[in-house]
Amino acid sequence: RALLPVRVLFLCTGNSARSQIAEALTQQLSDGAVDAVSAGSAPKPLDPNAVRVLAERGIDIAHRGSKHLDEFAGSRFGYVVSLCDRVREVCPEFPEHPDLIHWSVPDPGREGSYHAFQRALAEIGTRVGFLLERIDARRVTAS
């Protein structure tokens, strides 16, 4: 029996860099086992440095737009991950009480340098790896 993909929602204020990076890395690293999406509480256009840093890893997000978290109201997720402190305070309730996880990742757009985006990518990549291990462990014990 095939397991359905686990759904994960990544949130940050602008949905312009951090949550988009987390969504893209999760999709790539889970090989489709995780259905990752992202949104923001005050969406801004996708940051060109986020597009560039992911392109260097072979991930194309240039076609993606930013989404408002209201688009996912009422949706079911296994995990909801906030990547900034501001969005954590306004995160709505989701059905079936998903695991709420908070990663306080500095906003690379605030510093603005390409190096800041590389650091954010590295930090988010490490955290996504741990999240995928947690999801795998839970799936093994549940089946």
- Which residue is catalytic, options 81, 84, 87, 124? 84
Q: Decide if 91 is catalytic.
A: yes
Residue 61, C-beta contacts closer than 8 angstroms, at least 6 positions apart: 20, 24, 46, 50, 51, 54
Alpha-carbon distance of 13 to 38, in angstroms, equals 11
Alpha-carbon distance of 51 to 98, in angstroms, equals 29
Q: Decide if 12 is catalytic.
A: yes
- Which residue is catalytic, options 33, 59, 91, 100? 91
The structure tokens 């929602």 sit at 9
Q: Decide if 61 is catalytic.
A: no
Catalytic residues: 12, 84, 91
